[in-house]
Amino acid sequence: MLTVPKHLALCLFWLSAMAESTVNAQGSQAPRPVGAPTAKVLKAFPVNTFLESIVAAPDGAFLVSSYPDGKVYEIDSRGESKLFAQINGTIAGLAFQCPGDLLVSGWAGGKEPAVFRVSKAGKPELLLKLAGGMFPNGWSHLKGSRFLLADSFKGVIWEVDVAKKSARVWLQHELLARLDDKSQLPGVNGLKIFADTLYASNGQRQLLLRIPLTPEGEPKTPQVFVKDLVVDDFAFDTRGNLYGATHMQNSVVKVSPTGEITTLAGLDGGLAGSTAVAFGRGQDDSDSIFVTTNGGMSLRPPGGIQPGRVVRVKVGERGAPLCF
């Protein structure tokens, strides 16, 4: 009998999500489609490439993580790509050190929950192992050398101090946890701070959460922002609109500050298995989001699994700051 390690369930959990849930806007109104923003494929990888996370570098290039094989690729504005780093393990979320090296969440040797750091030259190192961790996933900068890291199975948010090479549980709350800890559906997943508030997605509970912050960077009580919406990772524009990848819904949605949901682009735009979102930082693409996909590896779309892609969607807004 084939046993799948828990962290490899990332490739499978959205299949259950589709069966268990319908994706609606806050309350019960379905996401409102918008008249087609421009969606254009920047880079296509071979079929069965599971792109999991994306960040924009200061020079305008993008770094994307390939989940199963520990590879980080660099992609320039023309769509040309090269291998930036090879990590000995399985990897998930990416974040920059504000400014500085690249932080990567994952599993050392494919087994032990860990945080890696990759230099500007692409040299990786094991920064620390997360004792008691289970599924390290999405990142957000907090302040200084302090970062927040979602643990999707443990149902907590870690604080990782990259200067001290230390980690502690920053917040544990039922809204971060899974409803059923035997299920392979994740709890807390994506993280981003906007306007002194941490936003978090919880896939199994189908929630977007708000977590106000104290001046010292400690959490207040989590609040439900949007219900009945499964979001993987996301990004904010400067106006406070959230742009979320819906994974098996094969789309990217815009969530206004009041919780109204609009579908911006979908399967026709190349977004089969959308996983993460980042704003461009180049002179010619700062008005666009860039979305990674796995081509529908988690749930085969009509016509079969597609290439893993990075897709540009022009939204006419600029990205919010990621460093505080």
Tell me: pLDDT of 11 over 80.
Answer: no
Task: Calculate the alpha carbon distances from 324 to 56, 144, 267 in Å.
Answer: 17, 7, 35
Tell me: pLDDT of 8 over 60.
Answer: no
Residue 315 CA to residue 135 CA, distance in Å, equals 32
Mean pLDDT over 79-105 rounds to 97
Closest of 26, 17, 23 to residue 255, by C-alpha: 26
Q: Provide the percentage of residues in the chain whose pLDDT is more than 90.
A: 85
pLDDT of 36: 59
pLDDT band at 85 (very low <50, low <70, confident <90, very high): very high
pLDDT of 21: 39
Query: Does pTM surpass 0.85?
Result: yes
Start-to-end C-alpha separation, the chain: 48
Tell me: pLDDT of 5 over 70.
Answer: no
Residue 71 CA to residue 205 CA, distance in Å, equals 30
pLDDT of 73: 98
- Residue at token pair 């094989």: 69
Q: Looking at domain 6-314, does it have CATH number 2.120.10.30?
A: yes
Q: Is the dihedral of CA 285, 207, 169, 51 positive or negative?
A: negative
Tell me: pLDDT of 194 over 50.
Answer: yes
Burial of 310 (0-12, 13-18, 19+ CB in 10 A): buried
pLDDT band at 183 (very low <50, low <70, confident <90, very high): confident
The per-residue pLDDT for range 195-204, each reduced to its tens digit, is: 999 999 999 9
Mean pLDDT over 253-273 rounds to 97
Mean pLDDT over 260-277 rounds to 97
Mean pLDDT over 53-61 rounds to 96
pLDDT of 15: 43
pLDDT band at 299 (very low <50, low <70, confident <90, very high): confident
pLDDT of 298: 87
pLDDT band at 237 (very low <50, low <70, confident <90, very high): very high
pLDDT of 35: 56
- Residue 34 is encoded by which pair of tokens? 């918008």
Mean pLDDT over 243-251 rounds to 94
Residues 6+ apart with CB under 8 A from 320: 194, 235, 236, 237, 238, 240, 279
pLDDT band at 182 (very low <50, low <70, confident <90, very high): confident
pLDDT of 24: 37
The contacts found for 250-257 with CB under 8 angstroms, 24 or more apart, are: 250/274, 250/296, 250/301, 252/277, 252/289, 252/291, 252/313, 253/31, 253/229, 254/34, 254/315, 255/208, 255/226, 255/229
Tell me: pLDDT of 95 over 90.
Answer: yes
Closest of 199, 116, 111 to residue 150, by C-alpha: 199
The per-residue pLDDT for range 101-150, each reduced to its tens digit, is: 999 999 999 999 999 999 999 999 999 999 999 999 999 999 999 999 99
- Residue 266 is encoded by which pair of tokens? 């979908």
